[in-house]
Structure 1
Amino acid sequence: MRRLERQCPCPSAHARFKTGRMGEKLHWWQTRWFVIAVTLAATIPLLWPTVPPLVDLPGHMGRYRVQLSIGHDPWLSQWYDFRWSLIGNLGIDLLVVPLAKVFGLELAVKLIVMTIPALTVAGLLWIAREVHGRIPATALFALPLAYSYPFQFGFVNFALSMAIALNLFALWLRLARLNRFRLRAAIFLPASCLLWLCHTFGWGVLGVLAMSAELIRQHDRMERPEARGGWRGWLEAMVRAGLGCLPLCLPMLLMIFWRSGEHVTGQTGDWFNWRAKISFLSMVLRDRWMAWDLFSATLLFLILFKGVRDDRVEYSRQLGLSAAFLFAVFIILPRIVFGSAYADMRLAPFALAIAVIALRARHGLSMRHASAIAALGMAFFAARLVGTTASFFLYERSYSRQMAALDHVPERARVVSFVGRRCLDDWAYSRLEHFPAMLITRRLAFSNDQWSMAGAQLLTTHYPAAGGFAHDPSEIVTDRYCRGNWWRPIRMALNNFPRDAFDYVWLLEPPRFDPALLDGMTPVWRDGSSMLLRIDDRSQPEPLTLEDFGVQLPRRNGVSSPR
């Protein structure tokens, strides 16, 4: 018996990976070493910057500093209130608690953020291999979406949950392929709750992906082929798929508990904004250079079109249905959900990524053609990595120049910051919108950039003396009044902020203004148009209203009400 076992030609697990489930030798883009290499390569743009230059991330870091320090730095409680509660938006908030003790807050955040594109790349390739048996050459074109616009915007809890959801979906597919359904239920019952805790969106997307995959699997495994046709077959498959996805449903109870809380607020609205949805599809790879980013997005949609028109490639029914479901959710979702903006925008790049990895070659495609497609996909991924690395390097230089101001701010200082921007939505943000939160991170000082959404995050700002300059978006200033936005013109902000409530004014690349507005303040640091000023004269100028900028406000009893 032992002799027969030794002579058994059954391939080992390593040999099966080298040959793939199809029984053919794997090509260079389908090997384990390639997957490891591109997963590590996805972290390259984030290696150099000390603070990853993602728009909202410095604001998040300020919140992390408060949650870690408010217990032993009690003056923070004069300005902020932080209370732990069970909400579906706690991914990095929880991870920084142990990691900050080992690495410090800033390095801990950087390491966590670096894992997000790596996990996204690994998840996409793992899904492709589970569905197709081997990684198709076309899947490489989806890898640049690891640096999609939602990630660049700094939706880090969301991005982390989506990266984890992709890998959990791949595991879901693998366990189904191995017929390990009891093990799958045992794993995904707690895993779905942890994913919900990271961010609700990731759990919801995992549910959509799992349901679509189960629907196809249950439909294809029906014993009687004639039962698969017609709506009855699909209805039966849908019922079975719903039962198979029950292990993912426990977070529904957590959702009910969360959204029925006493202090939960936030509107849901802006439905079917078609102009915004079309623009969100064009912005899936938005970073710095508009022409390059639009070309890259167009290339991805052309690849999807090729899958429809070219007989040598086809769509997987399983992933094709998953992509269709995600695009349907993208269309149905409003722009604002529970007070969180850009809900639909966040989903667009992931629906596109699933659609791209759904493509695969037919048997008629030659090996030379497949290798050429893989080489082009790898070149596209490398070009996007180079561009993102250069972009982040330039943003890091901007961050470093502004960071020098912090050396002149004492701890416990009260700082009002004003960050300049234009009324028009420039393709390349300065990414300084929430950089003032580094005052909290490094100096334990007050910053007026923190946003407060009851029930959506754990920190709220309560500094009554600051009035309308206590929280976001009071840090955003423009050269003129911008209709439809809450931003103040720079002249109005510098004139109206309560001087008794603050010790310093920090201007970060502000628009041009009258220097007379700085009377009573002493510059202590300057770099180009950015400057830090100490407030010496606390006398308050006569306040300006929007009517001083030609804006007609509604009147009550004949008296206009300034905003």
Structure 2
Amino acid sequence: MLMVLMSIAPLLWPTIPPLVDLPGHMGRYRVQLDGDAHAWLADWFDFNWSLIGNLGIDLMIVPLAPIVGLEPAVKLIVIAIPALTVSGLLWISREVHGRIPATALFALPLAYSYPFQFGFINFALSIALALNLFALWLRLARLGHLRWRAILFVPLSCALWVCHTFGWGVLGVLAFSAEMIRQHDLRRDRASGHWLESWVRAGLGCLPLALPFVLMIVWRSGDHVTGQTADWFHWRAKMNWVLMVLRDRWMALDIASVTVLFVILLKGVRDTRVEYSRNLGLSALFLFAVYLLLPRIVFGSAYADMRLAPFVFAIALIALRPKPGLSMRGAAVIASLGLAFFGVRIAATTASYYLYAQRYDRVLPALDHIPRGAKMVTFVGRRCQDDWTYSRLEHIPAIGLERRFAYTNDQWSMPGAQLLTARYWPAGGFAHDPSQIVTDQYCRGEWWRPIDLAMRWFPRDAFDYVWLLNPPAYDPSLNRGLVPVWRSGTDVLFRVDHRDDAALRDEGIGNGQPLFPRRKGVSSPR
């Protein structure tokens, strides 16, 4: 319980959890909850409920937001994710080992893994739930309640799929590997053939988890479903994702922390005092195989393989246990080191989130200068090089949609992957993500515009305000017709003076750009 409570510490201070994509999702939730009450939102966005495997928090805020408000509701749900992740890992450890081994403490910081930092919140929630459901799966098998398990996991697996498809897939892999070991142990006295029979029986035992396959077929066969599956076997990226499983703010600390995890896993192979559980060891190997086979983009969602990497580590770490005969002193040393590791990571994440929250607090007052229902285009600066420390401002414009019911150009627009799509046609190529991201030059393989082109091309007659966040240097003459109404450092909010629109268009400024400048090698937007 102490570990679960410690895990929520980083999220207590920030009003908005500083996760990269989360503000964008919050904008969608606002349209979902209040779109009918504000007619202009329907002019800008299409929001249609449909059964897709990506609805976790979208559904949870429906009863919760009217009680506590949208932002507190989102914060409460996000706080629950690391708590559930930690409880799931510890519960699995107890079910498999009979007690929680000290080595399990090293897995707990992965509750704040890179996918969570990125703001893949439906995914992260589904994985947290999947870990706890896997522990329940193991417990019911240990107690011999196989019939009850089969009955319970039909609706539970469907609910998990609705939360996010990935969580259901991970639960299936974990459950199949565990059931395979259980079936093998029941037949280990046979001379031959027991592995093949165990494989078949494990598949039959996992049939209660299979109904979401039907839901998947219905979802992906819809009339307007888009999203490709691509970028297979990108080995350099896969190696990078392994090094980034604890990526947050301080590269040296994050890489050193991953090194600690590798050392602990290596001790399970070379140290005679610890060993791997056959049950969880096979689960970790199965997940690792899935990680190697997964492409980078699945159904239009990028970083599919990256999302799995931390949980390969987590399952492998909780698979470790002391061999019989290890002294209490030896176990206490491991427990002390594990607790110190967890404490350092939680303290670092808490400090990091405090600094990100301060950055949010500096830029969000700009929204006080925007009237409700305004149309705003935002340009968030970044470099072509993938800096270890993200600004986490890429989707902060959506707080303008969430708080001021303003149009923002950072919403994702992938039919079939999200419930919301942008339909504000006057915005042209500045209607949705990633049009809000700008750079100082063209970036190979990306859709981002250089800021000079973005400031020149965006259709001025389609927007009332321009918000620049951490912008690169650009030609100041492009500010013609823009009146500054708020400024903080390099961040500035402009009001568009439409009296000069016609004259500027004649000079090639503000005449719109219907498409992103596509170049050879450019990847699909996230």
TM range (shorter): over 0.9
Number of the residue aligned with 1:100: 65
Q: Does 1:112 align with 2:77?
A: yes
Q: Name the larger-Rg structure.
A: 1
Q: Does 1:313 align with 2:274?
A: yes
The worse-fitting range, judged by mean Cα deviation, of 360-369 and 454-463 is: 360-369
| Alignment partners' CA distance in 1, 2:444 and 2:510 | 17
Q: Structure 1 residue 544: deviation in Å? A: 9.9
Q: Structure 1 residue 143: deviation in Å? A: 0.3
Q: How does 1:182-201 map to 2 (within 5 A)?
A: 182-201=147-166
Number of the residue aligned with 2:508: 542
Q: Counterpart of 2:37 in structure 1: which amino acid?
A: H
Number of the residue aligned with 2:310: 349
The 8 Å contact of residues 120 and 166 in structure 1, kept in 2 or not, is answered as: yes
Number of the residue aligned with 1:400: 361
How many residue pairs get aligned? The number is 510
Number of the residue aligned with 1:531: 492
What does the per-residue CA deviation read over 1:313-333, in whole Å, with 9 as the maximum and x for residues that have no partner?
000000000000000000000
The 8 Å contact of residues 91 and 160 in structure 1, kept in 2 or not, is answered as: yes
| 5+ residue gaps, structure 1 | 1-35, 546-550, 555-563
Number of the residue aligned with 1:84: 49
Name the SS for the 1:225 alignment partner: coil
Number of the residue aligned with 1:440: 401
| Alignment partners' CA distance in 2, 1:497 and 1:512 | 17
The 8 Å contact of residues 412 and 418 in structure 2, kept in 1 or not, is answered as: no
| Alignment partners' CA distance in 2, 1:41 and 1:320 | 27
Q: Does 1:171 align with 2:149?
A: no
| Alignment partners' CA distance in 1, 2:87 and 2:492 | 43
Name the SS for the 2:224 alignment partner: coil
The 8 Å contact of residues 61 and 70 in structure 2, kept in 1 or not, is answered as: yes
| Alignment partners' CA distance in 1, 2:465 and 2:419 | 27
Number of the residue aligned with 1:521: 482
Task: Select 1:212's aligned residue among 177, 182, 189.
Answer: 177
What does the per-residue CA deviation read over 1:463-496, in whole Å, with 9 as the maximum and x for residues that have no partner?
1101100111110000111111110111110011
Name the SS for the 1:419 alignment partner: strand
Name the SS for the 1:70 alignment partner: helix
Task: Select 1:390's aligned residue among 339, 345, 351.
Answer: 351
Q: Counterpart of 2:145 in structure 1: which amino acid?
A: R
Mark the CA change 1:525 to 1:139 in structure 2 (over 3 Å): closer, same or farther: same
Q: How does 1:358-377 map to 2 (within 5 A)?
A: 358-377=319-338
Name the SS for the 1:435 alignment partner: coil
Q: Structure 1 residue 200: deviation in Å? A: 0.3
Task: Select 2:465's aligned residue among 504, 524, 527.
Answer: 504
Q: Counterpart of 2:302 in structure 1: which amino acid?
A: A
Number of the residue aligned with 1:33: none
Number of the residue aligned with 1:226: 190
Number of the residue aligned with 2:514: none
Pairwise CA RMSD: 1.3
Name the SS for the 1:164 alignment partner: helix
Q: Structure 1 residue 226: deviation in Å? A: 2.8
| Alignment partners' CA distance in 1, 2:303 and 2:259 | 21
Name the SS for the 2:363 alignment partner: helix
Q: Structure 1 residue 212: deviation in Å? A: 0.1
| Alignment partners' CA distance in 2, 1:449 and 1:307 | 45
Name the SS for the 1:267 alignment partner: coil
The worse-fitting range, judged by mean Cα deviation, of 529-538 and 57-66 is: 529-538
What does the per-residue CA deviation read over 1:287-321, in whole Å, with 9 as the maximum and x for residues that have no partner?
00001000101110111111000011000000000
Q: Structure 1 residue 190: deviation in Å? A: 0.3
Task: Select 1:136's aligned residue among 71, 80, 101.
Answer: 101
| Alignment partners' CA distance in 1, 2:413 and 2:510 | 26
| Alignment partners' CA distance in 1, 2:455 and 2:509 | 10
Q: Structure 1 residue 258: deviation in Å? A: 0.6
| Alignment partners' CA distance in 2, 1:529 and 1:308 | 52
| Alignment partners' CA distance in 1, 2:368 and 2:289 | 50
Q: How does 1:220-299 map to 2 (within 5 A)?
A: 220-222=185-187, 225-227=189-191, 229=192, 232-299=193-260
| Alignment partners' CA distance in 2, 1:369 and 1:258 | 52
| Alignment partners' CA distance in 2, 1:68 and 1:405 | 24
Number of the residue aligned with 1:38: 3
Name the SS for the 1:60 alignment partner: helix
Q: Structure 1 residue 41: deviation in Å? A: 1.1
Q: Structure 1 residue 552: deviation in Å? A: 11
The 8 Å contact of residues 80 and 462 in structure 1, kept in 2 or not, is answered as: yes
Task: Write out the 4+ residue segments of structure 1 that deviate beyond 4 Å after TM superposition.
Answer: 551-554
Q: Structure 1 residue 210: deviation in Å? A: 0.2
The 8 Å contact of residues 458 and 510 in structure 2, kept in 1 or not, is answered as: no
Q: Counterpart of 2:197 in structure 1: which amino acid?
A: E
Q: Counterpart of 1:432 in structure 2: which amino acid?
A: L
The 8 Å contact of residues 116 and 159 in structure 1, kept in 2 or not, is answered as: yes
Mark the CA change 1:135 to 1:152 in structure 2 (over 3 Å): closer, same or farther: same
| Alignment partners' CA distance in 1, 2:518 and 2:472 | 23
| Alignment partners' CA distance in 2, 1:191 and 1:438 | 33
The 8 Å contact of residues 49 and 393 in structure 1, kept in 2 or not, is answered as: yes
| Alignment partners' CA distance in 2, 1:335 and 1:254 | 23
Mark the CA change 1:427 to 1:69 in structure 2 (over 3 Å): closer, same or farther: same
Name the SS for the 1:360 alignment partner: strand
| Alignment partners' CA distance in 1, 2:224 and 2:179 | 37
Mark the CA change 1:233 to 1:43 in structure 2 (over 3 Å): closer, same or farther: same
The 8 Å contact of residues 93 and 99 in structure 2, kept in 1 or not, is answered as: yes
Mark the CA change 1:459 to 1:544 in structure 2 (over 3 Å): closer, same or farther: closer
The 8 Å contact of residues 207 and 245 in structure 1, kept in 2 or not, is answered as: yes
> TM-score scaled by structure 2?
0.96
Percent identical residues: 69
Q: Structure 1 residue 517: deviation in Å? A: 1.1
Name the SS for the 2:501 alignment partner: coil
What does the per-residue CA deviation read over 1:486-539, in whole Å, with 9 as the maximum and x for residues that have no partner?
101111100110000000000011011122111111100000000000011323
| Alignment partners' CA distance in 2, 1:416 and 1:452 | 16
> TM-score scaled by structure 1?
0.89
Q: Counterpart of 1:180 in structure 2: which amino acid?
A: H
Q: Counterpart of 2:86 in structure 1: which amino acid?
A: V
Q: Counterpart of 1:310 in structure 2: which amino acid?
A: D
Q: Does 1:329 align with 2:290?
A: yes
The 8 Å contact of residues 56 and 162 in structure 2, kept in 1 or not, is answered as: yes
| Alignment partners' CA distance in 1, 2:299 and 2:325 | 49
What does the per-residue CA deviation read over 1:438-469, in whole Å, with 9 as the maximum and x for residues that have no partner?
01000000000001111111000011101100
| Alignment partners' CA distance in 1, 2:518 and 2:80 | 49
Q: Structure 1 residue 364: deviation in Å? A: 3.1
Task: Select 2:21's aligned residue among 56, 65, 75.
Answer: 56
Name the SS for the 1:168 alignment partner: helix
Name the SS for the 1:506 alignment partner: strand
| 5+ residue gaps, structure 2 | 512-516, 521-526
Mark the CA change 1:243 to 1:278 in structure 2 (over 3 Å): closer, same or farther: same
Q: Counterpart of 2:337 in structure 1: which amino acid?
A: L
| Alignment partners' CA distance in 2, 1:552 and 1:209 | 41
The 8 Å contact of residues 447 and 518 in structure 2, kept in 1 or not, is answered as: no
What does the per-residue CA deviation read over 1:136-193, in whole Å, with 9 as the maximum and x for residues that have no partner?
0100000000000000000000000000000000000000000001111111110000
| Alignment partners' CA distance in 1, 2:200 and 2:490 | 63
| Alignment partners' CA distance in 1, 2:68 and 2:142 | 40
Number of the residue aligned with 2:265: 304
